[in-house]
Structure 1
Amino acid sequence: MGERGDEAVTPAGRLFLQAEMKQVIHCVIGLKNPIDAELVKSQVRNSTMLQHPRFTSLMVRGEGGVEHWRPTEIDIDRHVLIIEEAVGEREEEDESAINKYLAELSIDSDGLSMEKPLWEIHLLKAHKCVIFRIHHALGDGISLMSMLLASCRKLNNPNALPTIAASASTSASTSASKTNLINFRNLLATLWFCFIFALEFILRCLWIRDPKSALTGGAGVELWPRKIATATFSLEDMKTVKTAANATINDVLFAVISSGISRYLDFRAPNGLRDGVQLTGLAMVNLRKHPGLQELSNMMRSNSGARWGNKFGMILLPIYYHRTNTSDPLEYLKRAKAMIDRKKRSLEASFSYKIGDFVMSTLGPKFASLLNYRILCHTSFTISNVVGPQEEIMIGGNPITFLRANNSALPHALILNMVSYAGRADMQVQVAKDIIPDPEFLAKCFEDALLEMKEQVTAKI
């Protein structure tokens, strides 16, 4: 039993405190002007972040090993780490140096001491970069990005908060009888896809695994040294491809990943896989009622559908290897769109969230952690995508030049984290360097895949 004032850690939060699933999220902010460390500390002291009890609480284990949040006093100097000198080689570019620093942090999930609330801010002054290091038990990427943006303002309007896109609404104009028929067919299709994907999900937990490839990780790989590279995409290019194919940005993203991985495998192991073989990714899907970033005031309310914390499901994303000298780039997009359309109707993300919550509540975090770890070992890569602000923003009066994110290492040898901001999207390509020694080349494969798709659609216009 916890002390008076203690708050129980949520089931999802307990999962990320298990040894196999310890996860720390890194939110990376590039700044235009030099960093004033004292100003940063002052802003943190007065920030919305410290109004949230999880950021001012210790994680303690009570009787029976049950975790609780216990309120404590905050010493800002213990949370803000100031690195004055450059973190890379003398002639190394900022991006390369920052990625090298992040790669070291990614295998240091024990670096957040339990003797203080589970977050830190690293100030890389020589590189004009700020890294928020936050334990996944505190919240997911949407929660943390929403909190970060609450401290930012628009560059062209210093008194205005960044714009958070509202969820789109749809209206129906079909007749009642036709609508009923469509709804009945949709219900049957949804039930069928739910059954298929639920069965696939369960079999993945038990024994089905991807074939071995040049990307394959496995048990223990989360402890291996890491490298990180950054793939940069123009959102305008993605929208051009999306519009021409009547697709979505996510359709384009997964097509780019599929094509990019095929390109990379052609280079690394040209005869290693047969054409058409399936590799499976694991994607994290936000399950809040209102998709996208959330108003922080809504997330603070316990009765809000956009509640703070970890509220996401997992979906399995099959991609298919095809030799790039024989395949049409837009075929990857057609396959990605068809696959994601089926996933939307399957409720797979909701199913995985519910079953995970049930297992946590009945069998405990140890067993749930084992199941999650097995799924990671049986698939080939992880992908997450957070939609950031569309306009340029600043924090503490300092313009932000880029927003990126990555997380602690997993059994996967390949982890992809994408964040969009002000017309571009940066995808962090994190790899186990003993398996994938050249993440820079893999990042270029992804960039070239999008450019080739854009050339194909513009040639047809």
Structure 2
Amino acid sequence: MDAGAQKVGVSRSLHHPSLSLSLAAHGSPGTDSDEPLTPAGRLFHQPEMNQVIHCVVGLKNSLDIDSIKSQVRNSMFIKHPRFTSLMVRDRHGVEHWRKTSIDLDRHLIIIDSPVATADDESAVNEYLADLSTSSGLSTDKPLWEIHLLKAHKCVIFRIHHSLGDGISLMSMFLACCRKFDDENALPTIGTASNRRKNLKGKKEWWALVLGFVKMAWFSLVFVLEFVLRCLWVRDRQTAISGGAGVELWPRKLVTARLWLQDMKIVKEAIPNATINDVLFGVISSGLSTYLDHRSPNVLQEGLQITGVAMVNLREQSSLQDLSNMMERSNSGSSWGNKFGMLLLPIEYHKKGGTDPLQYLRRAKVMIDRKKQSIEAHFSYRIGYFVMSWLGSKIASLLNYRIVCNTTFTISNVVGPQEEIAIGGNPVTYFRANSSSLPHALTMHMVSYAGRADIQILVAKDIIPDPEFLAKCFEEALLEMKEAAEAIAKT
């Protein structure tokens, strides 16, 4: 698969014809009102890292097209500067945002007939899988679209990653919604726990010194590993490995359904565990089961498989804080892309006779060490430095190599705690995924109203049975829940 690296530049250009369209249509000199893209925004316009986020919303009632158009016209999509600007390049090839008018009909893609003969969920997932390797978003209009699948009562928001990250886009989406049982109330969202903030108080001097030593040591180790991953260190080949050029391979998308209440029961079995710890324990257990199925008695016990996770670096605690991002561009909770990258290693273990909670214990130890380091902040700062001083091509190459040298991508975005509605139409599910990467496996979890759905996007020629992989994750959580309940009874 590494042979694809020599072709990826050409392939991605053909794969995203809109990139050349921007130069042809908007190569005029910049104006005083043009705003330069941030370094992160420029990164996501490089051919190797061109990314589109897909937010998928299922609705209870049929889609009223006129009502949806009215909702969009009165929403932040029409008011926010990023969503009303073209991405243009000046004569030097530097990207800028340029204000423009919105032709709403060009942004709404209405599909009247079923997109596939399968059930609604499978049909929508098939449609999304095709979008993940499509030609991207045309740059002769602002970089977003809304696909309305009338036969499946589904709305798909396609938004280019340069417009914002998951937290930014979640804030915009929720600002357009209301609670199902109170049409005047904004939704509420949970916050990711951060034990470092909860451990405030007077500490002994030796505890502070020990904490600093741990932070310095873990930071040194993880930062060094991060740098080596940018260069040549890579995971061993397994049945789920991708590589250069795999982002162009056909995709398949399935959904694993977890319940937050089950995850909370498991969390309580291990002191100070978090939902993220449980999620990564589930991923570790599920992947071990899947690899046992695909490669029985082949892999070495304890083999390391590395994931890439994006970590929000903002400090927000409420939907109001998230909404303020759309107004305070210079604040600590500013709109845009503000996330760091973490390398999250897991170990393959045979499942026979293993305590299911051991996967959670190992995940918690690893994630706790990551939290004590500055790896996420380092990756953000070094990325900003490389983009600013060495250019977007070098930054894109380094990011591309990190993905090629690891095995999977995982993300987790906290969604509404209660049922919500858009324009009075109740939301039945809320999911997200993105366009494809060199990974053969990417996973995006979004929680909504007590559920936690994981969208599993795979290169189907490498992972031909993602339905079984989703079942491995679902059963891993149930096994952990049974073990946790057994502990609670003793």
Q: TM-score, normalised by structure 2?
A: 0.91
Q: Counterpart in 1 of 2:72?
A: 44
Question: Counterpart of 1:402 in structure 2: which amino acid?
Answer: Y
**2:287 maps to which residue?**
261
Instruction: Give the 3-state SS of the residue equivalent to 2:345 in structure 1.
Output: strand
Residue of structure 2 aligned with 1:26, choices 26, 37, 54: 54
Output the CA distance in 2 between the equivalents of 1:163 and 1:221: 38
8 Å CA contact 1:142, 1:292 repeated in 2: no
Cα distance in 1 for residues equivalent to 2:484 and 2:191:
29
Q: Which residue of 1 aligns with 2:304?
A: 278
Worse overlay, 432-441 or 35-44? 35-44
* Distance in 1 of aligned mates of 2:144 and 2:201: 50
Residues 362-396 of structure 1, C-alpha deviations (whole Å, 9 max, x = no match): 10000000000000000000000000010110001
Contact 2:266 2:480 (8 Å CA) reproduced: yes
Which of residues 448, 458, 473 in structure 2 aligns to 1:446? 473
What's the counterpart of residue 211 of structure 1?
A: 236
Question: Which among 61, 67, 83 is matched to residue 95 of structure 2?
Answer: 67
After superposition, the C-alpha distances for 1:120-174 in whole angstroms (9 at most, x for unaligned) are 0000000000000000010001100110000000011110011134677636443
Q: Does residue 1:421 correspond to 2:474, yes or no?
A: no
Q: 1:96 aligns with which of 101, 116, 122?
A: 122
Aligned-partner residue type, residue 367 of structure 2: I
- Confirm or deny that 1:234 pairs with 2:259: yes
Displacement of 1:297: 2.4
Over the residues paired in the alignment, what is the CA RMSD in angstroms?
Answer: 1.3
Identity of aligned residues (%): 65
Tell whether 2:114 aligns with 1:86. Answer: yes
8 A Cα contact 1:197 1:348, kept in partner: yes
Partner residue in 2 for 1:160: 185
Offset of 1:303 from its aligned partner? 2.6
Relative to structure 1, the CA distance from residue 441 to residue 292 in structure 2 (aligned partners, 3 Å threshold; closer, same or farther) is farther
Deviation at 1:224, TM superposition (A): 0.2
The alignment partner of 1:260 has SS state of helix
Are 1:345 and 2:353 matched, yes or no?
no
* Alpha-carbon spacing, 1:76–1:424, altered in 2? closer, same or farther (3 Å): same
Q: CA deviation at 1:295?
A: 2.6
- The equivalent of 1:373 in structure 2 is 400
Amino acid in the other structure paired with 1:339: M
1:14 to 2:24 alignment? no
Secondary structure at the counterpart of residue 279 of structure 1: strand
- 1: CA distance between counterparts of 2:86 and 2:420? 32
Runs of 4+ in 1 over 6 A off after TM superposition: none
Offset from partner CA, 1:202-249 (integer Å, 9 cap, x none): 011111100000000000000000000000001000000001112100
Unaligned runs of 5+ in 1: none
Q: Is the Cα contact below 8 Å between 2:52 and 2:136 reproduced in 1? A: no
Matched, 1:318 2:345: yes
Residues in 1 aligned to 2:481 and 2:192: alpha-carbon distance in whole angstroms: 27
Report the equivalent of 1:296. Answer: 323
Q: Which moved more, 1:183-192 or 1:385-394?
A: 183-192
Aligned length: 455
Where structure 2 has 5 or more consecutive residues not aligned to the other structure, the ranges are 1-28
Offset at 1:325?
Answer: 1.1
Structure 1 residue 55 corresponds to structure 2 residue 83: yes
Q: Provide the secondary structure at the position in 2 that maps to 1:34.
A: coil
C-alpha distance in 2 between matches for 1:353 and 1:291: 21
Matches of 1:165 and 1:224, distance apart in 2 = 36
Q: Please state how far the C-alpha of 1:296 moved relative to its aligned partner.
A: 1.3
Give SS of 1:122's match.
strand
Identify the residue that residue 222 of structure 2 maps to in structure 1.
197
